[in-house]
A = this chain, B = another copy of it.
Amino acid sequence: MADVVHMIDSEVFLAFSTYATIVVLKMMLMSFMTSYFRLTKQVFSNLEDTTLVKTTEDRKKLVRVDPDVERVRRCHLNDLENIVPFVVIGLLYALTGPDLSTALLHFRVFVGSRFIHTVAYVMALPQPTRGLAFGVGLFTTFSMAYRVLTTALFL
Residues in chain B near residue A141, CB distance under 8 A: 28
Residue of B nearest to A13 (CB): B4
Residue of B nearest to A22 (CB): B149
Would B127 and A48 count as touching, CB distance under 8 A?
yes
Would B97 and A8 count as touching, CB distance under 8 A?
yes
Number of copies: 3
Would B74 and A21 count as touching, CB distance under 8 A?
no
- Kindly state the separation between the CA atoms of A45 and B25 in the bound complex, as whole angstroms: 25
Interface bracket on A = 35 or more
Question: What are the interface flags for A44-61 relative to B under an 8 Å C-beta threshold, 1 for contact and 0 otherwise?
Answer: 011111011000000000
A contacts with B: majority SS: helix
Would B46 and A96 count as touching, CB distance under 8 A?
no
Residues of A within 8 A of B (CB): 1-8, 10-11, 13-15, 17-18, 20-22, 24-25, 27-28, 30-31, 45-49, 51-52, 71, 74, 76-77, 80-82, 84-85, 87-89, 92, 95-97, 121, 124-128, 130-131, 138, 141-142, 145, 148-149, 151-155
Between A and B, 28 residue pairs with Cβ closer than 8 Å are A2-B6, A7-B7, A8-B151, A11-B154, A14-B153, A17-B152, A18-B148, A18-B154, A18-B155, A20-B92, A21-B88, A21-B89, A21-B145, A21-B149, A24-B89, A28-B81, A28-B141, A28-B142, A30-B81, A45-B74, A46-B71, A46-B74, A46-B121, A47-B124, A76-B81, A80-B80, A84-B84, A87-B88
